[in-house]
Amino acid sequence: MDALGIINFEDNVATVDGLGEYRPVPAMAFLGRYRIIDFILSNMTNSGINNVHVYCKEKPRNLFAHLGTGSHYNINEKRGQLRILFGEKSFSSPVYNNDVANFILNMQYIESDHNPYVVIAPSYFIYSINFNNVLEEHLKSKADVTILYTSTSDAKNSFLACDTLQMDENKRVTWFGKNRGNTKNKYISLEAYVMSKELFIDLVHKAAETSSLYWFKDILRDSEHELKIKGYQIKGYVRCINSLAKYYQTNMELRDRSVAASLFKADWPIYTQTNDSSPSTYAKGSSVKGSVIANGCKIDGTITDSIISRNVTVSKGAVVKDSIILPGSYIGENAKLDHVVVDKYAIIHHVKELVGTDEEPVYVKRRDRI
Amino acid sequence: MRPNLMAAMILAGGRGTRLYGLTKKVAKPAVHFGGKYRIIDFPLSNCANSGVNTVGVLTQYESVLLNAYVAKDQFWGLNTNDGGVYVLTPREKDTTGLEVYRGTADAITQNIDFLDQIDPEYLLILSGDHIYKMDYDDMLKTHKEMEADATIAVLEVSLKEASRFGIMNCDKKGMIKEFEEKPAHPKSNLASMGIYIFNYKTLRKYLMQDDKNEESSHDFGKDIIPTYLKDKKRLATYKFKGYWKDVGTIDSLWEANMDLLKNNNQLDLADESWKIYTENLNVLPAFIGEDASIDNAYITQGAVVLGMAKNSILGTNSYIGKDAKVIDSVINPGAKIGEGARVTRCIVADGVEIGPGVKVGSANSEHIELIDKKVME
pLDDT at A77: 82
Chain B closest CA to A189's CA: distance in Å? 28
Interface predicted TM-score (ipTM) over 0.90:
yes
pLDDT digits (tens, 9 = 90+) for A26-44: 999 999 999 999 999 999 9
Q: Say if the Cβ atoms of A276 and B300 lie within 8 Å.
A: no
Lowest-confidence pick of A92-101, A173-182, A347-356: A92-101
Residue B98 pLDDT > 80, yes or no? Answer: no
How far, in Å, CA of B89 to CA of B69, rounded?
14
Q: Give the model confidence (pLDDT) of A58-104 as tens digits.
A: 888 888 989 988 999 999 888 899 999 987 777 778 888 899 999 99
Mean pLDDT, rounded, for B26-33: 91
| Cα dihedral sign, A150-A156-A158-A159 | positive
Task: Tell if the CB–CB gap between B287 and A31 is shorter than 8 Å.
Answer: no
Nearest neighbour of B285 by CB, restricted to A71, A286, A292: A292
| Residue of chain A nearest B277, judged by CA positions | A276
Residues on chain B touching A301 (C-beta within 8 angstroms): none
Q: What is the dihedral of CA B174, B176, B178, B181, to 10 degrees?
A: 100
Q: Is the pLDDT of residue A305 over 80?
A: yes
Do you know the residue count of chain A?
Answer: 370
- Tell me the pLDDT band of B304, cut-offs 50, 70 and 90: very high
Residue B25 confidence (pLDDT) above 80? no
Given a cut of 70, is residue B1 above it in pLDDT?
A: no
Name the minimum distance, in Å, from the CA of B209 to any CA of chain A. 44
CB A6 within 8 A of CB A55: yes
Q: How far is CA B242 from CA A2, B131, B265, B276, in A?
A: 55, 11, 10, 15
Task: Determine contact, residues B305/B292, Cβ cutoff 8 Å.
Answer: yes
> Is the Cβ of B269 closer than 8 Å to some Cβ of chain A?
yes
Does residue A303 carry a pLDDT above 90? yes
CA-to-CA distance for B135 and B126, rounded, in angstroms?
A: 12
**Chain B contact for A327 (CB, 8 A cutoff):** no
> CB distance B301–A33 less than 8 Å?
yes
Give the nearest chain B residue to A73 (CA atoms). B282
Q: Work out the mean pLDDT of chain A and round it to a whole number.
A: 94
**Dihedral, B332, B337, B343, B345 alpha carbons, nearest 10:** 0
Q: pLDDT category, B371, cuts 50, 70, 90?
A: very high
Residue A219's pLDDT is 94
With beta carbons less than 8 A apart as the criterion, state whether B216 and B206 touch. Answer: no
A112, with CB counted inside 10 A (0-12, 13-18, 19+), is exposed
pLDDT digits (tens, 9 = 90+) for A142-155: 999 999 999 999 99
- What local confidence, expressed as pLDDT, does residue A16 receive? 85
**pLDDT score at B250:** 94
Predicted local distance difference test score (pLDDT) of residue B2? 66
Over 90: is that where the pLDDT of A11 sits? no
Residue B37 has pLDDT above 60, yes or no: yes
pLDDT of residue A350 exceeding 70, the answer is yes
| Contact between chains at A293 and B74 (C-beta distance less than 8 A) | no
Q: Taking CA atoms, what residue in A is nearest to B260?
A: A281
For residue A31, list chain B residues with Cβ-Cβ distance below 8 A. Answer: 284-285
B252 touches chain A (CB under 8 A): no
How close A310 comes to chain B (CA, Å)? 9
Q: What is the pLDDT of residue A96?
A: 86
CATH number of the A281-364 domain: 2.160.10.10
Give the class (CATH, top level) of A3-260: alpha beta
| pLDDT recorded at residue A181 | 92
Confidence tier at A332 by pLDDT (50, 70, 90): very high
Strand order across the beta sheet in which B304-305 lies? A362-364, A340-342, A324-325, A307-308, A291-293, B286-288, B304-305, B319-320, B336-337, B353-354
How is chain A split into domains, by residue range? 3-260, 281-364
Tell me, what's the pLDDT at A279? 97
Domain pair A3-260 / A281-364, same fold: no
pLDDT of A222-241, one tens digit each? 998 999 999 999 999 999 99
Q: Where are the beta strands (DSSP E) in A153-207?
A: 163-167, 173-178, 186-196
Confidence bin at A157 (pLDDT 50/70/90)? very high
Give the pLDDT mean for B254-273: 92
Q: How many CA atoms lie within 13 A of A128 on its CB side?
A: 16
Would you place residue B182 in the very low, low, confident or very high pLDDT band (cuts 50, 70, 90)?
confident
